[in-house]
Amino acid sequence: MIEKIISSLLSYGLDKGLFHKRDVIYVKNAYIELFKLKECEVILEKNSYEYSDDILQEAWEYAQNNNLESSIGETKDIACTKIMSVMLPFPSVVETAFYQMEKAHGIKSALNHYYHLSIASNYIKMRDILKNIGWKSETEYGNLEITINLSKPEKDPKEIAKALTATNSSYPLCLLCTENEGFSGDFNKPARQNHRIIELELLGELWYFQYSPYVYYQEHSIVLSGRHKPMVISELTFRKLFAFLERVPHYMVGSNADLPIVGGSILSHEHFQAGNYEFPMFRAEKIAEYSNNSHPNLRITLLKWPMSVIRLIGCKESCIQLGSEILAAWRNYSDKEMQILSHTGETPHNTITPILRRLETGEYSFDLVLRNNRQTAEHPLGLFHPHSEHHHIKKENIGLIEVMGLAILPGRLENEVGEIENLLNYPEKMPSEALFAHGEWILYLKKNYTKIESSKAFVQAEIGKKFLKVLENCGVFPQTQLGAIHFDKFLKTLNLERIHK
């Protein structure tokens, strides 16, 4: 069986371009050592695997059955990553190939090759990602996109037990540190021996590019600082976003905010997120236009969007200059009627989520989403954060991806939603304990379900409405007449005048 497994691994690696035919004997010998063999006869056949998952599953089962966990890895993630790493080139080889392809064929070709390498190496576990459940929900703001995320790996009970007694290390400092490249992993941190990153320079600073292992959208990528330093939103941040887009003009790029509650899950390491994807917010209608004498050629609009977004369209310097002025003004802006306070004592609350892309005209579209992380007695997790009545669907921070209209919902909802759909079809059934958190919502669904459409379509539409409410909770100026008046009041502090048509 092990000979068949190693033959399949070699055939897969050759087909995917992970190594050359000249390297077959070398890679085979590496597997002989890894699996504690004396010899191994291999037969190279046409590869029949699109992804490596099935081969790796067989290899992991062989390792378990032959007590090889101590040499290969004590968890499936660690073992499978180590098995794949045997046939991968060094980071410098991957990087050199990237630069050569970029020079010869352009950045699109280089990124495409690197993206498929990240999939073939099983760093991006595409088969797991394809299990994600997704749909579109029609709203007054256009279609929102909903995803139930099933691709993040879950530890089995044995791994959880071992993690409790394992020695915790501070290396690498976080999941975005460059030290993750080649890291063998442990019970508390994922293995990254199949991980390769690309060095790039932004404004004289050393940064790196990689794809996200979870790929929440097309070519979902991360641009990360070479230094472990906290997230920050500033004029320099804006300039780095533009510098990246000048290198990769067909991508969008944005940054999570730099404050807790309204920021992403990793605030300790400066990074951006990018990709080749059109988010729902990009298609949002404009509801107001403004002008500014200092930047007469800049188009300034407010969007019909559940969150508070200022869009600047024009040249690089005008976008950066006015964007920086908006950021500076917002940092210290308070509006008690809207419950917006810029500070509590010395603690700041206001920040911005910036998003940048290049239009077909060659102009830049620079979206500035106003954020506030103030907490109140009624909303202790955040006033402009998902409110408690929606926590059964979404409790986590609303970061960059969701700001743009793509919901990433927890995997637990797959089974829970299925059971709720069943309850609508068979109301006499008793809900399981797992549905207790959905109690009030289930009563609402039963009351409003007419059976004109399937229970699945009905529940999905209602989840879309929940996500919309979550985004509206996060908007500092609501999409109401009063909200528009107060948004306009803020913009007037920047000498922005509304254009009346």
| pLDDT over 60 at 134, yes or no | yes
Distance CA 1, CA 328 (A): 65
**pLDDT bracket for residue 162 (50, 70, 90):** low
- Segment 84-105, tens digit of pLDDT: 999 999 999 999 999 999 999 9
| pLDDT over 90 at 501, yes or no | no
| pLDDT over 60 at 231, yes or no | yes
Q: Phi first, then psi: what are they for 254, rounded to 5°? A: -155, 170
Distance CA 329, CA 332 (A): 6
Residue 303's DSSP bridge partners are 286
Compute CA distances 68 → 35, 52, 61, 78, 369, whole Å: 7, 20, 10, 12, 51
**pLDDT bracket for residue 160 (50, 70, 90):** very low
| pLDDT over 90 at 264, yes or no | no
Helix (H) or strand (E) segment spanning residue 253: strand 252-254
| pLDDT over 80 at 404, yes or no | yes
Question: Are 325 and 316 spatial neighbours (Cβ–Cβ below 8 Å)?
Answer: no
Largest CA distance in the chain: 82
Tokens of 237: 């941040």
CA dihedral sign of residues 192, 414, 264, 247: positive
Tally Cβ neighbours within 10 Å of residue 276. 17
**What average pLDDT does the segment 38-53 reach?**
94
CA dihedral sign of residues 302, 308, 314, 319: positive
**What average pLDDT does the segment 341-348 reach?**
97
| pLDDT over 80 at 168, yes or no | no
Q: Is residue 211 classed as helix, strand or coil in its secondary structure?
A: strand
**Percent share of the chain, pLDDT over 90:** 92
Backbone dihedral region for residue 300 (phi beyond 0: left; psi -120 to 50: alpha; all else: beta): beta
| pLDDT over 60 at 153, yes or no | no
Please give the model's pTM, rounded to 2 decimal places: 0.94
**What average pLDDT does the segment 334-347 reach?**
97
**What average pLDDT does the segment 410-421 reach?**
95
- Owner of token pair 């508390």: 188
- Segment 54-78, tens digit of pLDDT: 999 999 999 999 999 888 998 999 9
Closest CA relative to residue 111, chosen from 40, 210, 34: 210
Order of strands across the sheet that contains 406-409 = 133-139, 142-148, 406-409
Tokens of 219: 């070519």
The pLDDT, as a whole number, for residue 217 is: 97
Closest CA relative to residue 198, chosen from 159, 244, 139: 244
| pLDDT over 80 at 161, yes or no | no
What is the DSSP secondary structure assignment for residue 434, as one 8-state letter? G
The pLDDT, as a whole number, for residue 187 is: 84
Closest CA relative to residue 192, chosen from 103, 294, 128, 118: 118
**pLDDT bracket for residue 128 (50, 70, 90):** very high
